[in-house]
């Protein structure tokens, strides 16, 4: 590794990532802005993905990959891995990327230019393309350079910010305490809510990231835990957002989370539990047709109830 202090520290959590990590590294190597170091945190992988990363970086010509710092730790989860990367970082800015996401070649340069030209801004995020293994692609561009708009949309569920789209001042990461390991895998939502509550933001409507959605991701396997933790995150941030985010936005998000927990309970055959969650959803949003429909279905006979209950993953 060179002795010059890099401007950007790239933090990449790694866990059994051999399937996609080579593509991710190729997109990092292709960056037009090369004043960066790469910090890979191997979070207790049981495959040879860390060895693959070392092999690729050892033979790379890109300065970023040549500045590899590989941290190995016992499996603690993605939040702890990101925190370990932040602790090792030397750059002024931290760019997060997951082991299966892809950056455009000018991603870092675009974000750096925007941040350096916007006094006071401590973080930047961009639009992105969500792509699937069956070839589908969906553009996600609901962000805003207005901090209050970002706050409202993020808290209300209109806006999703994958860590791979973000560049954040290292000082800001440290000031907000990084990622809360008790909230994994919803820690990234909490992280960005903490940022937007305290710091001005830049946004690029250009899609600078390709966010991969696939059946191997942790989120696909932890739906009930995710929605349970979302209730906790919302409870933490609703008081902070009061006066900045309309109450109806918070109530609608709380109702949506309760409705999803109801669907999870129905999928497990826990009809009474589902009914309780649907009642909670209706308490916050008594006008929501889908909440009423789901609640009424819980009172129907089993065969009819199963017929009218859409499978998990169906459009909501």
Strand ranges (E), the chain: 8-14, 36-43, 68-73, 93-96, 102-103, 121-132, 137-140, 167-169, 200-213
Question: Could you give all domains of the chain from N- to C-terminal order, each with its CATH number?
Answer: 8-217 (3.90.550.10), 246-308 (no CATH)
Distance CA 267, CA 91 (A): 46
Q: What are phi and psi of 200, to 5 degrees?
A: -65, 160
Residue 169, C-beta contacts closer than 8 angstroms, at least 6 positions apart: 92, 93, 94, 115, 122, 123, 199
Residue 34, classed as helix, strand or coil, is: coil
Residue 301, C-beta contacts closer than 8 angstroms, at least 6 positions apart: none
Percent of the chain that is helix, strand, coil (3-state, to 5) = 50, 20, 30
User: pLDDT of the chain along its 316 residues, tens only?
Assistant: 445 789 999 999 999 999 999 999 999 999 999 999 999 999 999 999 999 999 999 999 999 999 999 999 999 999 999 999 999 999 999 999 999 999 999 999 999 999 999 999 999 999 999 999 888 999 999 999 999 999 999 999 999 999 999 999 999 999 999 999 999 999 999 999 999 999 999 999 999 999 998 665 555 457 889 999 999 999 999 999 999 999 999 999 999 999 999 999 988 889 999 999 999 999 999 999 999 999 999 998 776 666 766 665 554 5
**Residue the block writes with tokens 């994958």:** 162
């Amino acid at each position: 590794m060179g002795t010059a202090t890099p401007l950007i520290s790239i933090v990449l959590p790694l866990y059994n990532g051999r399937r996609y990590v080579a593509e991710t590294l190729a997109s990092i190597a292709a960056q037009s802005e090369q004043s960066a170091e790469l910090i890979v945190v191997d979070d207790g992988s049981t495959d040879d993905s860390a060895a693959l990363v070392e092999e690729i970086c050892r033979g790379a010509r890109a300065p970023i990959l040549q500045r590899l710092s590989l941290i190995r730790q016992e499996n603690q989860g993605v939040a702890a891995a990101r925190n370990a990367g932040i602790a090792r970082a030397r750059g002024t800015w931290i760019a997060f990327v997951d082991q299966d996401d892809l950056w455009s070649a000018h991603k870092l340069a675009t974000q750096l230019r925007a941040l350096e030209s916007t006094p006071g801004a401590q973080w930047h995020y961009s639009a992105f393309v969500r792509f699937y293994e069956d070839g589908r692609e969906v553009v996600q561009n609901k962000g805003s350079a207005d901090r209050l708009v970002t706050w409202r949309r993020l808290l209300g569920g209109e806006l999703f910010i994958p860590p791979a789209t973000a560049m954040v001042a290292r000082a800001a990461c440290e000031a907000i305490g990084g990622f809360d390991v008790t909230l994994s895998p919803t820690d990234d939502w909490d992280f960005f809510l903490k940022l937007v509550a305290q710091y001005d933001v830049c946004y690029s409507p250009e899609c600078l990231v390709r966010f991969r959605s696939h059946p191997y991701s942790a989120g696909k396997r932890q739906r009930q835990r995710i929605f349970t933790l979302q209730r906790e995150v919302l409870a933490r941030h609703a008081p902070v957002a009061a006066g900045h985010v309309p109450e109806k936005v918070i109530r609608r998000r709380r109702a949506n989370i309760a409705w999803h927990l109801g669907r999870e309970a129905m999928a497990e055959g826990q009809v009474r539990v589902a009914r309780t969650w649907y009642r909670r959803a209706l308490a916050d949003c008594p006008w929501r047709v889908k909440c009423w429909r789901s609640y009424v279905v819980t009172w129907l006979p089993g065969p009819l109830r199963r017929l009218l209950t859409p499978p998990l993953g169906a459009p909501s």
